[in-house]
Structure formats: structure tokens, C-alpha cells
């Protein structure tokens, strides 16, 4: 019997730590949590993350650095918008707006997260880019669990938990 490897239509459970190569700052980690479980080959993850662990077996560790194009993409300056501050009047009656605050706008195509990058009396400058857009990212990944996806998971395009028992 050949040992299973990370490949299309397998469900991988991994521990990972993501750092910024320029300063080593950890931006995300599964340490202290359940491993991250996902269906491989269905765009559940940023593209480079999957590509770099293809062929890995349980217990294998890999470390790699992704360019922005293979991670969250380049920044799009068209994603930085000035919004009249009066549109936030109701929110401001309940919470203090500060630069760096992350909020979610209800847009016609669905919820869109953004970060307040500047505040003036009249306008709020909102950045709809992913906070990691335009950045190279380093990941240290360990494969914890690996199994073949069920037909149901493949047709749904996502994993049903580490052992496949979750229902959706």
C-alpha cells in the first residue's frame, strides 16, 4: 500500500505558523488550536500554500516563502476608498472609530471587510485590500493528518472536518 500524499481530493490537517519574512512577526498560527483542515485542490487555501505541500506525507514538515502573487495578491489602490464620515454616524454613536480598526461593510455582493487607514472630520479612508495583500509570507507547515476526501466532500468543495463526520 502506498502512503497517502497531499494531492487533489485529499483532506489535509496541518499545523502552521505564518511569519513576515522582513521581520519575523507571526501573523497567524495554529499553535494551541486544532490543526487547520481543508480539502486540497478546491481553492480553500491561498494558491502557493497548497502547491508547496503537494506530495508531503503525514509527519512531514515544510517551510517556504511565498511571493505576494502566490499568497493574497498584490495591493489594489482602487480598493482604497474615501467614504463620507456621516455614513458612520450610527456606528460612531456606539463605538469609537480609530485608525487601524477593522470593520465589515455590507456590499451588494456580500460582506466586505476593510481597515480604517485614515480619519478626518469629513471622510473615512477605508482600505478593502486584504491586510496581507502585497506581502511575501513565510510558512512553517507540519502535516498532522491526511485522508482521502469522500465523494460528498469533493462535490461540496470543502472538508467535513478532520475525520469527515461534520455535516453541512
Residues that bind Zn ion (CB under 5 A): 156, 168
Which residues are CB-neighbours of 122 under 8 A, at least 6 positions away? 84, 85
SS3 135: coil
- Residue 163: CB minimum distance to Zn ion, A: 14
Looking up cell 497531499 gives 6
- In the bound state, the residue with its beta carbon closest to Zn ion is 168
CB-CB neighbours of 124 under 10 Å? 23
| CA pair distance 76, 162, nearest whole angstrom | 35
- Residue 167: CB minimum distance to Zn ion, A: 7
SS3 55: coil
| CA pair distance 10, 148, nearest whole angstrom | 4
Q: 120 or 165: whose CB is closer to Zn ion?
A: 165
| CA pair distance 100, 119, nearest whole angstrom | 10
- Residue 107: CB minimum distance to Zn ion, A: 25
Q: 45 or 56: whose CB is closer to Zn ion?
A: 45
- Residue 27: CB minimum distance to Zn ion, A: 28
Q: 51 or 166: whose CB is closer to Zn ion?
A: 166
Q: 33 or 168: whose CB is closer to Zn ion?
A: 168
Amino acid at each position: 500500500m502506498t502512503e497517502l500524499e497531499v494531492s487533489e481530493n485529499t483532506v489535509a490537517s496541518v499545523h502552521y505558523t505564518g511569519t513576515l519574512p522582513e521581520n519575523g512577526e507571526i501573523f497567524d498560527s495554529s499553535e494551541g488550536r486544532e490543526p487547520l483542515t481543508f480539502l486540497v485542490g478546491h481553492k480553500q487555501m491561498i494558491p502557493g500554500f497548497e502547491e508547496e505541500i503537494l506530495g508531503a506525507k503525514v509527519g512531514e514538515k515544510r517551510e517556504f516563502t511565498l511571493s505576494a502573487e502566490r499568497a493574497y495578491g498584490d495591493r489594489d489602490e482602487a480598493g482604497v476608498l474615501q467614504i463620507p464620515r456621516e455614513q458612520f454616524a450610527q456606528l460612531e454613536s456606539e463605538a469609537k472609530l480609530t485608525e487601524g480598526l477593522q470593520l465589515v461593510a455590507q456590499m451588494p455582493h456580500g460582506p466586505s471587510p476593510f481597515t480604517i487607514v485614515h480619519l478626518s472630520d469629513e471622510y473615512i479612508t477605508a482600505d478593502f485590500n486584504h491586510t496581507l495583500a502585497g506581502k511575501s509570507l513565510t510558512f512553517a507547515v507540519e502535516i498532522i493528518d491526511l485522508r482521502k476526501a469522500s465523494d460528498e466532500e469533493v462535490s461540496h468543495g470543502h472538508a467535513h472536518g478532520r475525520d469527515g463526520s461534520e455535516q453541512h
